[in-house]
Amino acid sequence: MNPNHSAPSARRLRWVLLALAALLVAGLGTAGWVCFKWLPEKPAALRVGIKPWPGYEFLSRAQEKGWYREAGLEVRLVEFSSLSDSRRAYERGQINVLASTVIEVLQIRENSARSPQIVLVVDYSNGGDVTLGRPGLTNATGLRGTRIGLELASLGG
């Protein structure tokens, strides 16, 4: 057997382990973090709050492939439309794990009784954030007198 060529089961095991680690890891924005509260020994389902973002694709892929089930886990990905919506769901105990930014972790610690644990960083941004506008808008002064949308929590402000 070629030592540089893994058997399919070994590759699958690596993917399962990666997917499990991914539950504890997810990123977005300036510093990606996952926070969670330690769960009872046998939870009904591990509810993982995510926001639409390409960096979370590996979580969805592991679920599609059934790798959580193969590892003996029941995982339910709960998609939210904004990071602040997923943060509030975590604060209310509606999800067990939150794929988030460090800002959300600090807001949870400051504004709720929950004490999330930062597990691992998956991504960081070094100035990749943007403001989007209509075609022809070339600078911020063009916004004068117009309505804008802004998420006041999270990175929006």
Summarised one tens digit per residue, pLDDT across range 137-147 is 888 888 888 88
* C-alpha 124, offset from chain centre: 13
Say how far apart CA 104 and CA 36 lie, in whole Å.
Answer: 12
**Which regions of 1-157 does DSSP assign to beta strands (E)?**
32-36, 46-50, 75-79, 97-101, 117-118
Supply the pLDDT for residue 33. Answer: 46
Q: Of 134, 151, 154, whose CA–CA distance to 142 is shortest?
A: 134
Predicted local confidence at residue 49, as pLDDT: 93
Q: What phi, psi does 42 have (nearest 5°)?
A: -130, 80
pLDDT at 45 (0 to 100): 86
pLDDT in tens, 45-69: 889 999 887 778 888 899 999 998 9
Total-model pTM: 0.59
Predicted confidence at residue 58, as pLDDT, reads 84
CA distance linking residue 78 with residue 81, whole number of Å: 10
What stretches in the chain show pLDDT beneath 50? 1-2, 4, 6, 25-34, 36-39
Domains of the chain: 28-123 (3.40.190.10)
For the chain, what is the radius of gyration of the CA atoms? 19
